[in-house]
Structure 1
Amino acid sequence: MHAPRIMIIAGEASGDMHGAKLAQALRRRCGDVELFGVCSNAMKEQGVRQLVDAKTLSVVGITEVFAKLPVIYRAMKTIKQTLRDMAPDLLILIDFPDLNFRVAEYAKKIGIPILYYISPQIWAWRQGRVRTLKRLVDHMAVILPFEAMFYRRHKVPVTFVGHPLLDRIPMIADPQAVGDIDGPPVIGLLPGSRQKEVATLLPVMLEAAALIRKKRPETRFLVSCSQSVDRDLVSAVSDPYMKALNLTIVPGPVDRVFEQSRLLLAASGTVTLEAALHGIPTVIIYKVSPLSYAIGKRLIKVKYIGIANLIAGKQLQPELIQEDASPENIARTVRSMIDDPALLQRMSDDLLDVRKRLGKPGASDRLASIALSLV
């Protein structure tokens, strides 16, 4: 009997990070497991053989997908050939529905079991896709408690494994230490993990930073540069502002920005939940093409876009979406927060409470157990 062969597809930076943790957990349980798939640096470092570089695939918004179709087509060709030639014992799909739904259709046809980890946000929009998942997927492993209820309601096999961020982000020992008000305010700018996202959001964030600094000249700004984003792009956008804003580019893990920041401006996504688990008050910024936004607005079924806000059922992190995400509105929102230390502390306390609703650490280990049970 051959060693288990598992193919993993993670199309974005957060999925690659979670896939790397899964790879570690699988190897702890089965040292000779063979892992390969669509991934980026984090999974490669854990010994996952890369078939397609995930950084070439990620997009933001509905219409932006069309520009990536030739790249997605080439990736699908590689994936299909690998599924046929390698015949993996299990296919694990991590979020990224634009590609993963197509892959699931093909894998189902040739009889490969499918475990879907980190649900697409079908509970938020285009809920009819749950019927597709029910038809294609052998098991869903979800990371948010309300997702499990959604899938059970639709009779899809599901396990709530807890959120993988809990394994990486320790419990804050002293909540009062979060948001230290001593010294000049430091604001972290987190423009996203995709090239298009950074090109769209970072200029807006920097213009807002310039307005904030006019009123609070002592303020410092840090720009996070994700490993999945070209450093030259971040530098080209930031360079005109470097001296005027006392700006520092911080490459690599976003934790380096969290450690220094009193407040964050962040692109919508997983990073906003990371910020919540660190107890850092955050303003969420979301902008896509006008057509993407018009389509999405008609389809979205939830009140908030921030994950922490969805979990809490109220707005803990202010959300500035599309036209509301102007430099002036961003600056006004941020100034109202940094001018009120008591408000910042209350926001921090509320964000830290979100952790209690995310289950217990060990999501990757629980997922690995499910995966090996399906092999």
Structure 2
Amino acid sequence: MQEKPKSVMIVAGEASGEMYGASIATEIRALAPETRFFGMGGGNMRKAGVETLVDADTMAVMGLVEVVAHLPVIVNGFNTLKNKLRSDLPDLLILIDYPDFNLRLAKVAKKAGVKVLYFISPQVWAWRSGRVKGIGRVVDMMAVLFPFEVPFYQNAGVPVTFVGHPLLDLVRPTMKRDEALSSLGLDPQRRCVGLFPGSRKSEIGKLLGIILESAEILKKRMPELQFVLPLASSLRREDLDPYLSGSKVEVRVVSGRNHDVMTACDAAVCASGTVVMEMALVGTPHLIIYKMSTFTYEVGKRVINVPHIGISNIVAEKRMVRELVQHEAEPVAIADEVDALLNDAAYATEMREGFAAMRVKLGSGGALGRVARLAMEMMR
């Protein structure tokens, strides 16, 4: 008697997570071609053959105030997945990051008797460490990116596997600097600054205007500079146009090819997020900025237990990359730091050496393949 094909629900809530979800689905299908996938994701997951019942692009918000304003959309998405989970029981639920949403869905799965594999741990080591016991009650296996995360779960009796960071495989620029600049329609003879304002509309609203003002300051200081901005897969060009149309600097907007864009840049301004780790792996000097609602910031200051917001700084256990958060993230301060990255050779070299040391800490590649094999073991 032939075994019934397995079904997997995959839930990812933002651009980086759904990129990983697409790769995990592809890896599982290579091991079990008949596997059926459904859940929440975006364009990458759809291309990988995942039926997306909820579009992740509509769910990507960060901050307490921002989430409250977006609550009806989030609740509707959650209910859609909850109902599907109960009516079409999958053999496994794979949750990727997006913790407040996904841990609630894990409770639903647990009650329904569905096993849960959680990839990209909630940052219990950074804030609300008491969550780890609750996680243990609803998650059957936690697959973590960093070795230092393992003891947090082991000490709480939660099954955990260190799989490594998927970006070690995914960050693969295809060109050298001059080639990348030429292919992007930029001048290899001029220095280039990358503008990475985030993948969420809320981040664009808070950060892009400030970043463009800093670009104007830099252009006055160094007229030869050129600027490039990669458009996140979760955004549309129209999301940027209100800001770009009012800017005094020309910015080349590029869709896709993020890693080639990073290679082309001599320095970059990055919103805190996955792009920070990508930038460090490429080896491009950069700074990290972030702004959120005043309420979210004040609450965060009181509950976060780590001295850095940039994950590359957290892994390195030192401030390799300058962080400008909230009121510090202003045009002149941003411009001053980019100026230093471009014109202080010793400073830029020290940062690159820090990136190389951090990469060693992350171990070998193959993370998403390990997640897929974990998933297969759990479905057996």
Where 1:63 maps in the other structure, the secondary structure is helix
Matched-pair contact (CA < 8 Å) for 2:8–2:38: yes
- Taking the aligned partners of 1:232 and 1:322, their CA distance within structure 2 comes to 26
Matched-pair contact (CA < 8 Å) for 1:172–1:278: no
The aligned counterpart of 2:228 is 222
- What is the aligned counterpart of 1:93 among 92, 95, 102? 95
Matched-pair contact (CA < 8 Å) for 1:272–1:308: yes
Structure 2 counterpart of 1:81, one-letter code: N
- What is the aligned counterpart of 1:285 among 286, 289, 307? 289
Equivalent residue pairs, number: 370
Matched-pair contact (CA < 8 Å) for 1:194–1:229: yes
Displacement, 1:99? 1.1
Q: Deviations over 1:91-141 (max 9, x none)?
A: 010000121011011111111110100111121111111111011100000
**TM-score normalised to the size of structure 1?**
0.95
The aligned counterpart of 1:313 is 317
- Taking the aligned partners of 1:172 and 1:230, their CA distance within structure 2 comes to 25
Matched-pair contact (CA < 8 Å) for 1:116–1:137: yes
Q: Deviations over 1:280-327 (max 9, x none)?
A: 111001100000100111110001011110111111111000000011
Displacement, 1:173? 12
User: What does 1:39-118 align with in structure 2 at a 5 Å threshold?
Assistant: 39-118=41-120
The aligned counterpart of 2:28 is 26
- Taking the aligned partners of 2:190 and 2:377, their CA distance within structure 1 comes to 53
For structure 2, which runs of at least 5 residues remain unmatched after alignment? 181-187
Matched-pair contact (CA < 8 Å) for 1:90–1:113: yes
Where 2:219 maps in the other structure, the secondary structure is helix
Where 1:298 maps in the other structure, the secondary structure is helix
Matched-pair contact (CA < 8 Å) for 1:191–1:224: no
- Taking the aligned partners of 1:226 and 1:174, their CA distance within structure 2 comes to 22
- Taking the aligned partners of 1:213 and 1:314, their CA distance within structure 2 comes to 31
- Taking the aligned partners of 2:261 and 2:172, their CA distance within structure 1 comes to 16
The aligned counterpart of 2:155 is 153
- What is the aligned counterpart of 2:329 among 325, 328, 338? 325
Q: CA RMSD in A?
A: 2.0
More divergent stretch after superposition (3-12 vs 340-349): 340-349
Displacement, 1:366? 0.7
Q: Deviations over 1:21-79 (max 9, x none)?
A: 10111011111111110010111100011110011111011221111211111112211
Structure 2 counterpart of 1:135, one-letter code: R
More divergent stretch after superposition (122-131 vs 188-197): 122-131
Where 2:227 maps in the other structure, the secondary structure is strand
- Taking the aligned partners of 1:2 and 1:172, their CA distance within structure 2 comes to 41
**Identical-pair percentage:** 42
- Taking the aligned partners of 1:204 and 1:339, their CA distance within structure 2 comes to 22
